[in-house]
Amino acid sequence: MKKVLFINAVDPHVEIESRYLPLWPCYLAAYADKVLPAGSVEFRLMRKPVTQELDEFAPDLVAVSAVSQNFNRVAPLASAAKSRLLPVIVGGVHVSALPDTLPEQADVAVIGEAEQTFAELLRILLDTGRLEHSRLESVRGVAFRSAGRLIRTPPRPLIDNLDTLPHPDRSLIGYPRHSYMFTSRGCPYRCVFCSSSRFWDKVRFASAEYVVSEIEELVSHGVHTVSFYDDLFAANLKRLEEIADLIASKGLDREVRFTCSCRANVVTPRVVSALRKMNVVSVGMGLESGNPRVLEYLKGGVTVEDNRRAVALLKDAGIQANASFVIGSPDETEAEVMDTYSFISRNPLDFVDTYVLTPLPGTPIWDDALSRGLVSNDMDWSRLDVNFGGPGRAVILSKTLSPANLALLYARFRRQRFWRILKALPGSPWLADVPRVAFAAAVASARRALSWVTRAPRA
C-alpha cells in the first residue's frame, strides 16, 4: 500500500482561506479508490506543520495545490518532501495556466481537470515506486522537466458526464454543519478577470438526481446549511427546477437551507421561484460595477439595470442578496468608481465585497498586464492577492488613478462594507457562523502580528 499526503497551500494568517477545508483532495481520493485496486492507497490531508506530517504519516507521495497568490508556498513545501526523497505532484488553476512556473523541487504538474490524470500517476507509483519520465510521457495532461527542459503532454479530454464521478470522499475533511459542494464545472460566460472559467474550459452539469443524492449524504451526517460553490449554479434553468422539485419532494427543504451564486442577467422570476422552493436563503452575485461602460468591459452582456432588477427580485422573495464589485479597471475614472459606490448605497444589498482588479494568470487582463510589464512568470506571486495589499504590494492596472488615490477609494469601500455587515448580520442566515469565524479571524490576526514581531529587525 502507498500513502499520499495532500497539501492545500494556503496562508494560515488569512481566516477566509482556511475557513473551509478543500474538496479537491476528496474528489481525487474518491476517484482513485474507484479505479485502483481496493486498499492500494491511503490518503491524508495535511493539518499539521509539513515536517510533522511527513514524519508522522510517512507518505510515499505528496500532492500540492495552490492558487496564484499562494504559489510562493509551493516550492518550500516541495523542498520539505524532496529532503525525504519523496515524489511531488503540483496541480491547480495556477500551474495549469503557467506550467513553466512548476518549481524545480517538484516532479510533475497536473494540467486542468485532475481525477483521471492523478489516478494514472498513482498507477505508475504503484507499479514502479517512482514517477519515471518514460512513463510520464504517456500520461495526458501533465508537464514535467527532463534534461533541463519542460515537457508538456497532450491535454486530457474533459469528463463529459459528471455523474460518472463518485461523490467526494469527505472522510478526509469531515462534515461541518455548514458544508459546501459543487454541482457543475465551468461557466458559460467569460468575465475578463475570471481564471476559473478558463481552467474548466466548458460548462458541464451533474444531473439533478446526482446532486440531490449528495445533499442527502450531507444531511445524513448532520449538515444543516449547504453552499453551492459552482461558478454559476443557476446557469441551467431546467436542471435548477428539477433540483428544486426533488429537494421539495424529499422534504430536504425543511431540513437544510442553501446558498448559491447567480449572474444578474439570469435572475428571473422563474429562477427566483425555484430557488425559494428549495430553500435558498442567500444568493451571491458578481455585480462588478455600477457604471455601464466599466460593467461592459468586465463582464459583457449585463447591464446596471440587470443588476438592480436582480437585487430587487431576490429581496422581494425574502432571499438575502449579496454582491461583489471590482474597481481599478485600466481606464476607469474616479467618477466611474463612485458610480459603483452609489449603486451599493442605493440598493438593498446585504453583504458586499469590493476588490481591486487583479490580473490572474490565464485571463485577458493577465495578458494585458504582461504586455505592460506589470507581471511576469517569475514574479512574487503574493502580489496577486485579491484582497488589496496596498499601493506598494498590489499589481495596479489603472492608468487613470494613482496608487495612492486608488488606495483611498478602496478604503472608502471597506468602510461602506463594514456598515453593511452591521446592518445585515442580525437577520442573516450566517449569524450562527459568526462566533466560529470571528474566533478563527482573531487567531489568524494574532499569528500574523506575532510573525511580524519575530521577523522585525533587532536594534
**Given 3.40.50.300, 3.20.20.70, 3.40.50.12780, 3.40.50.720, which CATH number is that of 175-428?**
3.20.20.70
Q: Do domains 2-152 and 175-428 have the same CATH topology?
A: no
Query: Tell me, what's the pLDDT at 15?
Result: 79
Give the list of residues 6+ apart from residue 353 with CB closer than 8 angstroms, or none. Answer: 323, 324, 325, 417
Ranges of each domain in the chain: 2-152, 175-428
- Those residues whose C-beta lies under 8 Å from the C-beta of residue 408, and which sit 6 or more positions away, are none
pLDDT at 445: 53
59-72 tens-digit pLDDT: 999 999 999 999 99
pTM (2 decimals)?
A: 0.92
More confident residue, 392 or 432: 392
CA distance 451 to 133: 40
pLDDT tens-digit map of 347-357: 999 999 999 99
Q: Rounded mean pLDDT of 293-311?
A: 97
Q: Per-residue pLDDT averaged across 349-368, rounded?
A: 96
What's the pLDDT score for residue 446? 55
Q: Among 127, 11, 14, 152, which residue's Cα sits nearest to residue 443?
A: 14
* For residues 359-377, average pLDDT: 97
Q: What is the pLDDT of residues 27-44, one digit of tens each?
A: 999 999 999 999 999 999
- Superfamily holding 2-152: Response regulator (3.40.50.2300)
pLDDT tens for each residue of 229-268: 999 999 999 999 999 999 999 999 999 999 999 999 999 9
Q: Average pLDDT of the chain?
A: 92
Strands 108-110 vs 142-146: parallel, antiparallel or unpaired: antiparallel
Contact 41, 1 (CB under 8 A): yes
Which pLDDT belongs to residue 454? Answer: 44
Indicate the pLDDT class of residue 443, thresholds 50, 70 and 90. Answer: low
